[in-house]
Amino acid sequence: MADRTPLPTPDAPATYAFHEHANREVWTWSAAVAIAAELRRELIVQPRARLLLSGGQTPAPVYRALSQAPLAWERVDVGLVDERWLLPDDPDSNAHLVHREFLRDHAAAAHFEPMTQPGRHLEGAVATANAHARREAGVAVFGMGEDGHTASLFPGMADAERLLASSRDYVAVDAHGCPGAQQWPRRISLTPRGMARIAHRLLLIQGARKRAVFEQALASGDRTRWPVLATLESTYGTPLDVHWCA
């Protein structure tokens, strides 16, 4: 029987703020401005800031807008929420997406941490991701699939209960048989524990279908069936910022 992980109790309520935007342009700039503002705040009080980005098509306009923000990007480390088991120069890798859509304009000065490298085995890549994660990221951008996945945590993935309960920040994922993983079932993903350690979490979604999926997930409370629920949890008690437009 699937281990149904309930949402946090009223002692530590999982909260979110739903930002509904008038159109895609407002959605794009609102999300980009929110991320830039948070990075700027961090750079005032600490020497470096860390930002984690997801793959997928939805956030690309936000990445392009954010890349134009005048920030001390040379003091920003950029990592990935998740990666397909592909090398960074593969056009289908999340690293490639980040290079193409984000590491340009002002943001070209940021320091990027790819998860995969030629010759590195999967477990080695996971260990490196966990080593990077020792420095907490202040901000992370998440997407969601219509199956309720986020990062590379899929409903129906192998060993789901163990991965969702992992005490590590990143794990290797076997998503064979999960349609949402498309043709890349081998992946590395941030875990719910890793997500909870990030104070400012943004979920970027568009369209009526994804809104309905998010609402269905909330109503269910079943994190194994709806891994997107993991983005709600926070050791800081900070709400998830959901940015949505039709």
Cβ nearer to ligand 6PG, comparing 36 with 98: 98
- Chain residues 57-76 in contact with ligand 6PG, contact rule CB under 6 A: 57-58
For the CB of residue 74, give the shortest distance to ligand 6PG in the complex, in Å.
26
Does the protein bind ligand 6PG through residue 28 (CB under 6 A)? no
**Residue 56 lies near ligand 6PG (rule: CB under 6 A):** yes
Contact with ligand 6PG (CB under 6 A) among 94, 116, 128, 191: 94
115 binds ligand 6PG (CB under 6 A): no
Three-state secondary structure readout of the chain: CCCCCCCCCCCCCCCEEEEEECCHHHHHHHHHHHHHHHHHHHHHHCCCEEEEECCCCCCHHHHHHHCCCCCCHHHEEEEECEEECCCCCCCCCHHHHHHHHCCCHHHHHCEECCCCCCCCCHHHHHHHHHHHCCCCCCEEEECCCCCCCECCECCCCCCHHHHHCCCCCEEEEECCCCHHHCCCCEEEEECHHHHHCCCEEEEEEECHHHHHHHHHHHHHCCCCCCHHHHHHCCCCCCCEEEEEEC
Min. distance of Cβ 130 from ligand 6PG in angstroms? 18
207 counts as binding ligand 6PG under rule CB under 6 A: no
The reply to whether 192 sits near ligand 6PG by the rule CB under 6 A is no
Residue 82 found at the interface with ligand 6PG (CB under 6 A): yes
User: Is 84 or 201 the residue whose CB approaches ligand 6PG more closely?
Assistant: 84
How many residues belong to the chain? 246
Write each residue from 135 to 154 as x if it is in contact with ligand 6PG (CB under 6 A), else as -, in one continuous string: --------xxx---xxxx--
How many residues at the interface with ligand 6PG, by CB under 6 A?
Answer: 15
Q: Which residues bind ligand 6PG (CB under 6 A)?
A: 54-58, 82, 84, 94, 143-145, 149-152
